[in-house]
Chains A and B, each alone.
Chain A
Amino acid sequence: MRTGILPVFFFLLFTFVSNSHAADLPFEFSDPVQEDRFKGLLEELRCLVCQNQSLADSSADLAQDLRQEVYRMVIEGDNNEEIVNYLVARYGDFILYRPPLKPSTYLLWSGPVIFLIIAVFIAISTIRKKKYTELSQKEQQLASQLLNKTEEESDQE
């Protein structure tokens, strides 16, 4: 009997937990284009209270208020840039999941490329080193001796 209850419990738990808030937004649109813009914006904007959630996902009170603001601005016909600028002016770049390209974020944006270049450089130099190890004269002699030897041996066979 006990083993029967446990899965049901977890099933219910995860059903509630995974219940996305974006799905049951109480916002209504007459224009589907506006609705798409609204949903797109919410995915791009970070909730400042629970920082790993977007405005679409967060159930924080502030996220609800900011959804309302974004909704109002979309309905009033503000374009995406205006809405984003409005929020950045109040909450800073942090509200954006995609930080803008500016001097303080150059390293952030170029970081992956820089690391890739370094990695490629290291890889190439390592491979080259293995290919072109030069032998000293002594080693050269020893090598040709060994080669001659094996040739003779195979000739004898």
Chain B
Amino acid sequence: MTQKLIPLAIFLILIVFLGIGLTRDPSLVPSPLIDKQLPEFSLEQVKNMDKTLSSIDLLGQVSLLNVWASWCLACRSEHPLFMELAHSGLIDIYGLNYKDQREDALRWLDLYGDPYITSGHDDTGKIGIEYGVYGVPETFVIDKKGIIRYKHVGPVTDEILEKKILPLIERLKATPI
């Protein structure tokens, strides 16, 4: 009797593992940058070519770095959330304008609003590669020391913001430099 149950047991174990596999999104690749210092960069600002946004600007406070582009449809769906977040004054949001034309980016910011302290213009996508960007939008949570604590690939949703990002921000804000 037990002999006959062995294949059934193996089958059930297999089902459990395959079931777990189904709940995971294979397009989400774990980033090796988590808990690492943010890669250095210095980019022209989208709105002001004479000024730069550099990685040093992100030090000293907890901040978000949002990778966006005017050609990115999904960016539009998360945009209202960032507008709200910017108005709340809870956190500094910086933009990384990824592989975009400056005019298009400016028009996009005019049209949908600008939640960013400032956006760096990464027209070649070189800085995107430094940050391991593979699907816009992407959002990084960076602590006071400039260490990347969390990365979200794809549009930020209410749920992600409430359950993951905001609690993390609170925790990071509470820790001294």
B82 near A: Cβ within 8 Å?
no
Q: Is the interface of A mostly helix, strand, loop or mixed?
A: helix
Instruction: Tell me which of A69, A88, A94 has the highest count of chain B C-beta atoms within 10 A of its own C-beta.
Output: A94
Chain B residues within CB distance 8 Å of chain A: 26-27, 29-33, 99, 124-125, 128-135
Pair B134/A91 contact, Cβ less than 8 Å: yes
User: Is the CB–CB distance between B134 and A49 below 8 Å?
Assistant: yes
The chain A residue sitting closest to B124, CB to CB, is A65
Q: List residues of chain A with CB under 8 Å of any chain B CB.
A: 48-49, 51, 61-62, 65-66, 69, 88-94
Q: Out of A48, A61, A66, A90, which one reaches B32, CB within 8 Å?
A: A90
* Interface contact A65-B125, CB-CB below 8 Å: yes
Tell me which of B26, B125, B128, B135 contacts A49 (CB under 8 A): B135
Max chain B Cβ within 10 angstroms of own Cβ: one of A51, A65, A90, A92: A90
Pick the contact of A65 from B31, B129, B135 — CB < 8 Å? Answer: B129
Q: CA–CA, A58 to B140, complex, Å?
A: 27
- A91 contacts which chain B residues (CB < 8 A)? 29, 32, 132, 134
Q: Are B129 and A90 in contact (CB under 8 A)?
A: yes
